[in-house]
């Protein structure tokens, strides 16, 4: 286990970040049994069940503000669901038991189980609009970005802030047809692209950390829930995310407006999560840029790799844990998961 900052503080409230990590570990262990089996719903459902079971025992009064899955009718921890024991601190929770369900189903890299928490009432809740246009960077360039500026201008400013040549700047984005022009503009500006199939949260965090990958900027349209989760990580990392809602149809646009949202408003990090006391937790399902995935061991058991970020202290912990085989089998038996 390594820690990026030594502060000598003591976390109150029974170390909530590590308790939430146990929930992402459980989700990752359950989902990893479905890795490469081509069944997104089964893997997602196993992760949801495992995460819900662990969250029930966490000492907190939690409310799911953002439960991933609604847009594609997948299994989910639903919006408004109460989690935790009901005592302890009141917190908003955003969850994605499997960020990258297609990556999981195909056995590809970068699928993670992820969760974020913040003080009650502080999370932006874009339930009526499933997508956002996003721009995210790390601390060196946090003060120079503008989502309304041309991407070429952003690339030049980020390069200057980071002391890099424009040709060395890498911009990550989802590999989608809607990003063809954005990719062209990035390359015309002299920078490079890094396309990813799924896994919006891991890409955002990668853009904010030089130690995770070579990515400097995340840009383009991705999930709204992932934007809020990423904002919680940015608070701990000193990075910045800017976003704007992106309705995909006239009906969705009107529904969003009727719900009281301004679809043209630029949302900064503080608008996505107002609290300065946030937690971000992720456990790898498959190996990836942010954390390694679940590794099953020949002599029994499994090894997990997680990251826990806490904004109030600026602490980022990378944690490797070993799980005994009999515990895994007992957990799997109740979920009718395939064997390892």
* Binding-site entries: 44, 68, 96, 99-101, 131, 176-178, 198-200, 223, 226
What gap in Å lies between CA 99 and CA 34, rounded to an integer?
14
Q: Is 287 helix (H, G, I), strand (E, B) or coil?
A: coil
What gap in Å lies between CA 226 and CA 17, rounded to an integer?
19
Q: Which residue has the tokens 């953002």?
A: 66
Binding residues for substrate are 99-101, 131, 176-178, 198-200, 223
Q: State both tokens at 144.
A: 């120079």
What gap in Å lies between CA 51 and CA 47, rounded to an integer?
6
What gap in Å lies between CA 230 and CA 322, rounded to an integer?
27
The bridge status of strand 315-323 relative to strand 192-196 is unpaired
DSSP output for 169-232: -EEEEE--GGGHHHHHHHHHTT-EEEEESS-HHHHHHHHT-TTT-S--EEEEEEEHHHHHHHHH
Binding residues for Mn(2+) are 44, 68, 96, 99, 226
Terminal Cα-to-Cα distance of the chain (whole angstroms)? 26
What gap in Å lies between CA 191 and CA 327, rounded to an integer?
48
Name the nearest CA neighbour of 320 among 6, 25, 19.
25
* Residue 72 per-residue DSSP state: G
């Amino acid at each position: 286990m390594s820690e990026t900052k030594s502060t000598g503080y003591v976390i109150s409230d029974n170390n909530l970040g590590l308790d939430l990590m146990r929930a992402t570990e459980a989700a990752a262990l359950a989902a990893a049994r479905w890795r490469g089996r081509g069944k997104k719903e089964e893997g997602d459902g196993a992760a949801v069940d495992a995460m819900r079971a662990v969250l029930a025992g966490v000492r907190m009064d939690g409310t799911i503000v953002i439960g991933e899955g609604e847009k594609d009718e997948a299994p989910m921890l639903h919006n408004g669901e109460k989690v935790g024991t009901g005592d302890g601190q009141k917190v908003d929770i955003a969850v994605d038991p499997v960020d990258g369900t297609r990556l999981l189903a195909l056995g590809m890299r970068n699928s993670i189980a992820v969760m974020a928490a913040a003080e009650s009432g502080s999370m932006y809740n874009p339930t009526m609009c499933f997508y956002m246009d996003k721009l995210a960077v790390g601390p060196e360039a946090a003060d120079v970005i503008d989502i309304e500026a041309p991407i070429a201008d952003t690339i030049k400013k980020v390069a200057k802030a980071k002391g890099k040549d424009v040709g060395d700047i890498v911009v990550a984005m989802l590999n989608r047809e809607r990003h063809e022009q954005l990719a062209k503009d990035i390359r015309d500006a002299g920078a490079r692209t890094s396309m990813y199939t799924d896994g919006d949260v891991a890409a955002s965090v990668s853009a904010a950390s030089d130690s995770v990958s070579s990515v400097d900027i995340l840009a383009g349209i991705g999930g709204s829930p992932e934007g809020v989760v990423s904002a919680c990580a940015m608070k701990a990392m000193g990075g910045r995310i800017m976003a704007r809602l992106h309705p995909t149809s006239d009906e969705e646009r009107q529904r969003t407006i009727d719900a009281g949202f301004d679809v043209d408003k630029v949302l900064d990090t503080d608008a996505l999560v107002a609290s300065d006391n946030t937690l971000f937790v992720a456990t790898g399902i498959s190996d990836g840029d942010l954390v390694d995935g679940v590794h099953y061991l020949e002599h029994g058991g499994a090894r997990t790799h997680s990251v826990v970020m806490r904004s109030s202290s600026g602490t980022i912990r990378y944690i490797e844990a070993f799980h005994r085989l009999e515990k895994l089998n007992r957990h799997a038996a109740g979920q009718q998961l395939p064997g390892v």
